């Protein structure tokens, strides 16, 4: 009996060498630092699954290249703010008393990021930043420079890994996903004082001196991905994303700095969260001070 994927006509099989050649044809270079967002399913039938993609990335980047992925754990917050997995209010005190604080070696990346970030995080040689909500993992010689420090407040601001990626002229690789998944585009939100920009308080668990769970308030920007595709569409000439395929996946590769510059320009001109049509969920949330980001 055929494997179900073969029966369904899934493209493939694609092995390590084919994926490496596709990445190189797309424009990935040896020594690059690249933040990767990926739908493994979109690649088709790969020989070795996500491991094959990771090995191919490292083959294409060489020993001086660095792979970076978001490994967020936004589920580590006060249960009163949970939206996707709401629980009865009478449970909240018990959850607050015992929710384990963030441990970068234990807590998995949230499933909404796909399977690839968790695969990278679990690698023995991977490093991970210490932010309880917005951590990143990285493999390669630039990992430490990307990941540390990672301030608690405004975790996706210029003082953390996204700012480091910009300074390193990192590139953005999208495999089978859209620009709304491009985490680097949250950095311009912090850099641009667009109208109606807001921050909010998110409480996270941390270990007290006695080992018990305590709660600490953090200040984070209210973020929005709805205009990220328009930012990418505005790039022209040498700054335009390179398009191709990796396996069966639609692939986009973009230089990080022109992407951030274009986003800052667009957000300054076109974003206005003071209008209810743009952000009705922002009512009652405090303005974000520009100096703090």
Helices and strands counted in the chain (H then E): 10, 9
DSSP 3-state of 111: helix
Torsion, Cα of 226, 228, 231, 233 (10° steps):
-90
Q: Determine the straight-line distance between the first and last CA of the chain, rounded to whole angstroms.
A: 57
Per-residue pLDDT tens digits for 234-259: 999 989 999 999 999 999 999 999 99
Residue 74: the pLDDT is: 95
Kindly report the average pLDDT of the chain as a whole number: 91
Average pLDDT over residues 209-222: 91
With a cut of 50, say whether residue 88 has pLDDT above it. yes
Domain assignment of residue 222, yes or no: yes
Partners of 37 in the beta sheet? 174
pLDDT digits (tens, 9 = 90+) for 42-65: 999 999 999 999 999 999 999 999
Q: Tell me if 280 is assigned to some domain.
A: no
Pairwise CA distance, residues 22 & 25, whole Å: 5
Q: What is the pLDDT of residue 221?
A: 95
Total tally of structural domains belonging to the chain: 1
Q: What is the mean pLDDT of residues 58-85?
A: 95
Burial class (CB in 10 A: 0-12, 13-18, 19+), 268: middle
Cα 48 to Cα 125: distance, rounded to the nearest angstrom: 20
278 belongs to a structural domain: no
Question: Residue 279: inside a domain, yes or no?
Answer: no
β-strand pairing of 171-175 with 33-38? parallel
| Domain containing residue 114 | 4-273+285-292
φ/ψ (deg, to 5) at 155 = -65, -20
Which residue, among 153, 150, 161, has the nearest Cα to 183 in the 3D structure?
161
């Amino acid at each position: 009996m055929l494997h179900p994927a073969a029966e369904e006509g899934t493209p493939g099989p694609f092995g390590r060498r084919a994926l490496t050649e596709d990445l190189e044809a797309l424009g990935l270079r040896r020594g690059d630092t690249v933040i990767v967002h990926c739908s493994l399913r979109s690649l088709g039938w790969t020989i070795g699954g996500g491991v094959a993609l990771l090995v191919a990335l490292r083959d294409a980047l060489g020993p001086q290249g660095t792979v970076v992925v978001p490994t967020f754990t936004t589920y580590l917050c006060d249960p009163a703010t949970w939206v996707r997995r709401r629980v009865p209010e009478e449970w909240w005190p018990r959850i607050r008393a015992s929710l384990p604080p963030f441990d970068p070696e234990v807590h998995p990346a949230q499933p909404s990021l796909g399977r690839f970030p968790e695969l990278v995080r679990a690698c023995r040689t991977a490093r991970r930043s210490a932010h309880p909500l917005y951590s990143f993992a990285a493999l390669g010689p630039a990992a430490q420079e990307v990941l540390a420090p990672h301030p608690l407040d405004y975790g996706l601001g210029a003082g953390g890994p996204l700012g480091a990626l910009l300074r390193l002229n990192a590139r953005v690789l999208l495999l089978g996903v859209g620009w709304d998944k491009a985490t680097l585009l949250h950095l311009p939100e912090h850099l641009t004082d667009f109208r109606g920009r807001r921050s909010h308080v998110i409480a996270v668990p941390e270990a007290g001196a006695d080992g018990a769970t305590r709660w600490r308030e953090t200040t984070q920007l209210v973020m929005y991905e709805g205009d990220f595709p328009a930012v990418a569409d505005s790039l022209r000439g040498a700054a335009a994303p390179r398009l191709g395929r990796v396996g069966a996946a639609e692939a986009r590769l973009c230089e990080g700095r022109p992407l951030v510059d274009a986003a800052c320009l667009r957000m300054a001109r076109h974003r206005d969260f003071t209008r209810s049509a743009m952000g009705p969920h922002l009512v009652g949330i405090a303005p974000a001070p520009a100096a703090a980001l």
